[in-house]
Amino acid sequence: MSGVRRIFGWIMRTVAIAGLIAITVLLVWAFESRNMPDLRIWHTVPLTSEFTANDATPQSTLQDYLDQEERLFRELRVKIYDRLVPTAEMTFNRYRAGGLQDPQQLPRNWNRTFELVPENIQGGALLLHGLTDSPYSLRRIGEIFHGKGFYVLGLRLPGHGTIPGALTEVNWKDWVAASRIAARHVRERIGPDKPFVIAGYSNGGALTVKYSLDALSDPGLPPADRLLLFSPEIGITPFSAISNSHKLLSFLPYFAQFKWLSIQPEYDPFKYNSFPKNAGQQAYEITAALKQQIREARRAGKLAVFPPVLTFLSWVDATVETSATIDRFYGQLENKGNELVIFDVNRSDRLKPFYPAGDAASLQRLENRSDLPYRLTIINNATPDSQSLARRTKAPRSQVVATTDLDLVWPPGVYSLSHVAIPFSPDDPVYGSIEDPGGAYRGLPFGRLQPRGETHYLIAPLSQLMRLRYNPFFAFIEQRVTAEIDKYLAH
């Protein structure tokens, strides 16, 4: 009996010590957050008109969603834009009404849900953007579909396109509910027989996969005929699972900044720079739900009828886990017609000394496998001493690799793509490398910024300013997407 008491006592002491350590870490983390910049009204003011899952009913229509969105943006103007004084500090702030970064000054405010309607509808495409982004991130993809006669709906997901503070309250189920309304609308708009495609970027990729898994067992959800994913968020760091631990202290005004992972100037017209912990928590929860749902669908044999998927991703990605897309998703698919396109890093011999040791080994192992149930395409250097690119493709369950030279070259100074670069073309007026020929956008040219100076001086982090914001190889994506659309239309 005494032995049991000793073991029980040891367990209780261990639990107490672990709890004390956890509380200490939480307190240190909370006090460190007070060194972050002060919160502004776009971090703290609540917007009460935002759509939530509780607003959705089986009868909800896109027009209902748009009406609520209109009320939301009127509230945004009254609570944010109309309250700000246009000081010099606000010159490049997106909330300065009439300023250089004010998205409302453009012919279309791409922070809002948009529709592209052709004269003769050949099909439908639903676009779901990423976390902290806006519908703008898939604007160019939508234009490609529209040019081919597709009705395009670029949905603004709840919590986005307004103020970063909106993401402190959002729940991933709000995104799911909104995407269901949008998908039903696209299918109704195009009719029962025309091809229906859902395209998702980053967190929108997770929602795209989630919707399609739900549609396997819910007859009220019209299934897509094809999925198109860009840097999909199938898995993220497990650290995000404890993001909302801040709630133990952040309700106190003294620790208000503890709600945030980063507090930064809001100069990007179509993407939040500040990032609340709740956003990371919701991203983690939807990827956890996906992991479980993929496993259950595989066990039930439902993945054999999952829509074909075409995915584009960067081999190096600081935002999501590419391994989750490869193993947790693509490795489980049992249907036909899937392809994974990976943009490798610049493998030039002169850059190899600067890369982590063994970086190329895991990609090489993937390419060497003969059991892959999908088509694998890798875009990388044609030869180690060349900046030109080639496409290396192998069919499902094959060992044969076919190589085709591409009319693409690594731009000077670029060593890899990035999570945020994949869906943006070089001529994108906001994030591209080419000056906007139309001149409608007068703000900061993010794709062309090259700040030089001492580190840690600018209040905007260099890691954000120097991250590649456009895809120099977007021509390959456009060609590949166009070929897919032609295939849909041929059938």
49-103: per-residue pLDDT in tens?
A: 999 999 999 899 999 999 999 999 999 999 999 999 888 788 899 999 999 899 9
| Inside any domain, residue 194 | yes
Strand partners, 201: 230
Please give the pLDDT value at position 2.
63
Q: Let me know: does 467 contact 420? Beta carbons within 8 Å.
A: yes
Does 29 share its domain with 176? Answer: no
Tell whether the model's pLDDT for residue 47 goes beyond 80. Answer: yes
Does 17 share its domain with 162? Answer: no
Mean of all residue pLDDT scores within the chain: 90
| Inside any domain, residue 17 | yes
Given 268, 286, 307, which residue is the final one in a domain?
A: 307
Total domains, the chain: 2
Tell me how far apart the alpha carbons of residues 275 and 279 are, in angstroms, rounded to a whole number.
7
pTM over 0.75: yes
Given 307, 342, 374, which residue is the final one in a domain?
A: 307
DSSP state letters, 293-334: HHHHHHHTTGGGGSPPEEEEEESS-SSS-HHIIIIIIGGG--
Tell whether the model's pLDDT for residue 448 goes beyond 80. Answer: yes
pLDDT mean over 215-220: 94
Exposed/middle/buried for 100, CB within 10 Å: 0-12, 13-18, 19+? middle
For residue 7, what are the domain limits? 1-33
Amino acid letter, residue 352: K
Assigned token pair, 463: 């890691």
Assigned token pair, 234: 């199938």
- Predicted confidence (pLDDT) per residue in 96-126, tens digit: 999 989 999 888 999 999 999 999 999 999 9
Does 197 share its domain with 236? Answer: yes
| Inside any domain, residue 128 | yes
Tell whether the model's pLDDT for residue 299 goes beyond 70. Answer: yes
Given 278, 307, 336, which residue is the final one in a domain?
A: 307
Does 68 share its domain with 17? Answer: no
| Inside any domain, residue 394 | no
| Inside any domain, residue 465 | no
Coil, strand or helix at 379? strand
Q: Let me know: does 235 contact 331? Beta carbons within 8 Å.
A: no
Does 92 share its domain with 11? Answer: no
Tell whether the model's pLDDT for residue 31 goes beyond 60. Answer: no
| Inside any domain, residue 111 | yes
CATH code (residue 173): 3.40.50.1820
Q: Let me know: does 106 contact 121? Beta carbons within 8 Å.
A: no
| Inside any domain, residue 373 | no
Does 197 share its domain with 70? Answer: yes
Assigned token pair, 99: 């300023």
Does 125 share its domain with 91? Answer: yes
Tell me how far apart the alpha carbons of residues 65 and 67 are, in angstroms, rounded to a whole number.
5
- Predicted confidence (pLDDT) per residue in 222-248, tens digit: 999 999 999 999 998 776 556 666 666
Does 197 share its domain with 239? Answer: yes
435 falls in which pLDDT band (50, 70, 90)? confident
Q: Let me know: does 224 contact 207? Beta carbons within 8 Å.
A: no
- Predicted confidence (pLDDT) per residue in 166-213, tens digit: 999 999 999 999 999 999 999 999 999 999 999 999 999 999 999 999
- Predicted confidence (pLDDT) per residue in 343-355, tens digit: 999 998 888 888 8
Tell whether the model's pLDDT for residue 44 goes beyond 90. Answer: yes
| Inside any domain, residue 123 | yes
Please give the pLDDT value at position 34.
61
Does 203 share its domain with 279? Answer: yes
Does 17 share its domain with 60? Answer: no
CB proximity list for 400: less than 8 A, separation 6 or greater: 394
Please give the pLDDT value at position 256.
79
Does 297 share its domain with 191? Answer: yes
Does 167 share its domain with 148? Answer: yes
